[in-house]
């Protein structure tokens, strides 16, 4: 349905985006697909990311969210379609390539080493060094100071950057990972289910950091299966199901209820109700499912972002 190309000019005209001075997207995917052997993990996905915008990718388990971010983060390579960075076609060979292009990923498991101190984790893979040749050593004091300052700027007051990062709470670790990406000049920040394992309060904290990162001018890709987390912070919503895009909406064209209904999959529920009826399933369950179908239908079909 939305396998056609995004009209980039159209998209930008529809949005007020003071941070984007170029007529191209910071990052865009067109008809991207990926298969592992004969298993198709992702087909025909089209989306865009811009400075100071949050693009949410929503989908249930196995919808292809992970595959999508692995392609953008350079862990896997796509087999179909094109990936553009600032209008230039790219295919990343390794996570390092993606990092060099300004794409930083905060993974579900956070890519932090629990036993290592916070400051070592903060600079891991991008250590500051001083000295020459074989006597190059790390600038430990400077790294500690920067870690402390960057975290303070994000509003995390840490007593001791020397403590193992495993001692921090899930939300705090998440925030350290975000602060790290921001400090190392990420232009695109990919957040893989950052709220999945967190409680309500901690989730709120992380959502606020997402907005902070956005306000700093980053293009954020927020992966989640929770529309209640996505809707308040997102500017655009890409819905995935079974490796396919089932909708790509601008915030002004969709409501939270509609988003939730789309996530729940109205058509599928209807099918299920029908099936249960045929099988002579339990009346109550059928009724329940039918009620949900009705609810989803009443939420209406929102206009899709022209894609």
Partner 1 sequence: MANAVLTIATDERVSARNPLQKLLVRPEIGALVGALVLFVFFSAIAPVFLQPSSLATVLYGSSTIGIMAVGVALLMIGGEFDLSTGVAVITSALSASMFSWYFSTNVWVGVAFALVVSLGIGFINGWILVKTKLPSFIVTLASFLMLAGLNLGLTRMIGGAVATPSVSDLDGFDAARVLFASTVKIAGVDVTITVFIWIALVAVASWVLLRTKVGNWIFASGGDANAARAVGVPVTKTKIGLFMAVGFCGWILGMHNLFAFNTVQSGEGVGNEFLYIIAAVIGGCLLTGGYGSAVGGAIGAFIFGMANKGIVYAQWNPDWFKFFLGLMLLLATIVNLIVKRRADSSK
**What's the rounded Cα separation, in Å, for the pair 202 and 122?**
21
Using rule CB under 8 A, residue 69 touches partner 1: no
CA pseudo-torsion sign 301, 4, 61, 179: negative
Q: Three-state SS for 250?
A: strand
Using rule CB under 8 A, residue 93 touches partner 1: no
Which of the ranges 6-14, 16-24, 126-134, 265-273 carries the binding residues for partner 1, by CB under 8 A?
Answer: 126-134
> What is the Cα 265 distance to its own chain's centre?
21
The burial class, CB within 10 Å (0-12 / 13-18 / 19+), for 208 is middle
Among 69, 175, 261, 263, binds partner 1 (CB under 8 A): 175
Of the pair 171, 243, the CB lying nearest partner 1 is at: 171
Distances (CA, A) of 138 to 63, 128, 283: 43, 6, 69
Count the helix, strand and coil residues of the chain and give each as a percent rounded to the nearest 5.
40, 25, 35
Using rule CB under 8 A, residue 148 touches partner 1: no
Q: Least distance (Å) from partner 1 to the CB of residue 301?
A: 31
Using rule CB under 8 A, residue 111 touches partner 1: yes
Using rule CB under 8 A, residue 130 touches partner 1: no
Using rule CB under 8 A, residue 215 touches partner 1: yes
Using rule CB under 8 A, residue 156 touches partner 1: yes
Using rule CB under 8 A, residue 21 touches partner 1: no
Q: Least distance (Å) from partner 1 to the CB of residue 261?
A: 27
Assess contact for 250 and 14: CB atoms under 8 A. yes
In the DSSP assignment, the letter for residue 246 is E
Write out the residues near partner 1 by the rule CB under 8 A: 73, 75, 95-96, 99, 105, 107, 109-116, 120, 123-127, 129, 136-138, 140, 154-157, 159-160, 164, 166-167, 171-172, 175, 205, 208-209, 211-212, 215
């Amino acid at each position: 349905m939305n396998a056609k190309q995004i009209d980039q000019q159209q998209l930008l005209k529809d949005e007020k985006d003071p941070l984007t001075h170029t007529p191209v997207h910071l990052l865009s995917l067109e008809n991207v697909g990926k298969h592992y052997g004969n298993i198709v993990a992702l087909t025909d996905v089209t989306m865009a990311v811009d400075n100071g915008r949050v693009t949410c990718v929503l989908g249930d388990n196995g919808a292809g969210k992970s595959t999508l971010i692995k392609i953008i983060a350079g862990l896997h390579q796509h087999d179909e379609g094109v990936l553009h960075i600032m209008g230039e076609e790219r295919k990343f060979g390794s996570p390092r390539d993606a990092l060099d292009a300004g794409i930083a990923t905060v993974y579900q498991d956070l890519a932090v080493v629990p036993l290592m101190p916070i400051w070592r984790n903060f600079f891991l893979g991008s250590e500051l060094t001083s000295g020459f040749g074989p006597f190059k050593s790390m600038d430990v004091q400077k790294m500690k100071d920067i870690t402390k300052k960057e975290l303070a700027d994000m509003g995390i007051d840490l007593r001791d950057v020397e403590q193992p990062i495993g001692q921090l709470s899930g939300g705090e670790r998440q925030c350290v990972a975000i602060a790290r990406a921001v400090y190392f000049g990420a232009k695109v920040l990919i957040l893989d289910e950052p709220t999945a394992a967190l409680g309500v309060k901690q989730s709120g904290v992380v959502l606020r950091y997402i907005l902070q990162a956005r306000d700093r001018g980053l293009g954020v890709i927020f992966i989640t299966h929770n529309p209640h987390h996505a809707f308040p912070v997102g500017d655009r919503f890409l819905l995935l199901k079974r490796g396919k895009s089932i909708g790509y909406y601008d915030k002004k064209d969709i409501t939270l209820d509609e988003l939730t209904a789309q996530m729940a999959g109205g058509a599928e529920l209807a099918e299920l109700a029908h099936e249960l009826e045929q099988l002579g399933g339990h009346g109550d369950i059928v009724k329940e499912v039918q009620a949900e179908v009705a609810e989803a239908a009443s939420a209406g079909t929102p206009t899709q972002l022209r894609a």
